[in-house]
Structure 1
Amino acid sequence: MDGGRSLNRIYSDTVRKMCIDPSRIKPSNTTVKGVIPGIEAHCLGTPTLEVVFGSPDNFRNEDLISDIVPFCSGYHALPGRTTFARFNVVHHYTYLKLKMLGPKGVITVNGNMECSLRTEEHRAALVAEVQTGMEGPKYQPAVKAREESK
């Protein structure tokens, strides 16, 4: 859940694992900032994917546009505010739950605290690795901008 951002993000390795037909991916001019502090990246494209929440007897589905981001992550994708608005989701970060109205009642999507903590630890390690590698000239403008913003 990323209710702070408007982008629906899907990671490039997830797209590769899903074997999405490249003809379904449209070009993108979107630049992503803030995923890794001090680094910006250009999205690799925007596929339209069917997103489904619920069970076979009570579900909601919508076609959503996602931006493919060229980062590694413990997540497969992160829905943003646009997804929450489209599904009229009520989210509760503390309990890792999403709730939305389905055709036969409330649909509840439960998160997993252990998995979330492992994923966050993995993400923090990736950020540290990237920031450690930012000593080269390629990253100096980003490092300088980050230091000036402190």
Structure 2
Amino acid sequence: MYAKTLDEMGIDRTNLCPIRAPFHGIVPGFPGTVHAILERPCYAKFMAIPNYTYLKLKMSGPHGVITVGTSFCRTYECEVECCGHASAVIASEELATLREEVVEEAPSTKEAV
């Protein structure tokens, strides 16, 4: 989850605590289309039910069922944006590799004495 998402939700960062869940990585410098990736333990904890066909997530709330959803058009836009981010990340990794190769192959600037 992005820090900006926490701020927009009004969640104070001092309320966060470390957990032993696996960490898959981050993409620095790129805003993503996904604000949080929830997995089965989270769904179980909140008794949430994802429905991927209808792009809905339902869970119990203090005043009834909470439904979070989106449209197929928005989902497609997110997929296109994610592909753009992935391409940029791959390109930056390839650029970093090329830079390392150039530095390794560069002749020494020190003259032999």
**TM-score normalised by the chain length of structure 1:** 0.47
CA contact (8 A) 2:6 2:12 kept: no
Q: How does 1:71-86 map to 2 (within 5 A)?
A: 72-86=31-45
Structure 1 counterpart of 2:82: 123
Higher RCO by CA contacts (8 Å cutoff, separation 6 or greater): 1
The whole-number CA distance in structure 2 between the counterparts of 1:107 and 1:16 is 21
Q: 1:53-64 residue pairs with structure 2 within 5 A?
A: none
Note the residue ranges of structure 2 that are not aligned, 5 or more in a row: 101-113
- CA contact 1:91–1:99 (8 Å) conserved in 2: yes
Residue 20 and residue 84 in structure 1: after superposition, are their counterparts in 2 closer, same or farther (change >3 A)?
closer
1:20 CA drift (Å): 5.1
Structure-2 residue corresponding to 1:54 = none
Structure with higher helix content: 2
Are positions 1:134 and 2:93 aligned together? yes
Question: Closer, same or farther in 2 for the Cα pair 1:72/1:87, shift >3 Å?
Answer: same
Distance 2:9 2:69 in 1: 23
Give the partner amino acid of 1:91: P
Q: Which amino acid aligns with 2:23?
A: V
1:16–1:132 CA distance, 2 compared to 1 (3 A): farther
CA contact (8 A) 1:13 1:72 kept: no
TM-score by length of 2: 0.58
**Identity in percent:** 33
Equivalent position of 2:67 in the other structure: 108
Please identify which structure carries the higher strand content. Answer: 1
* Larger Rg over CA atoms: 2
Alignment length (residue pairs): 97
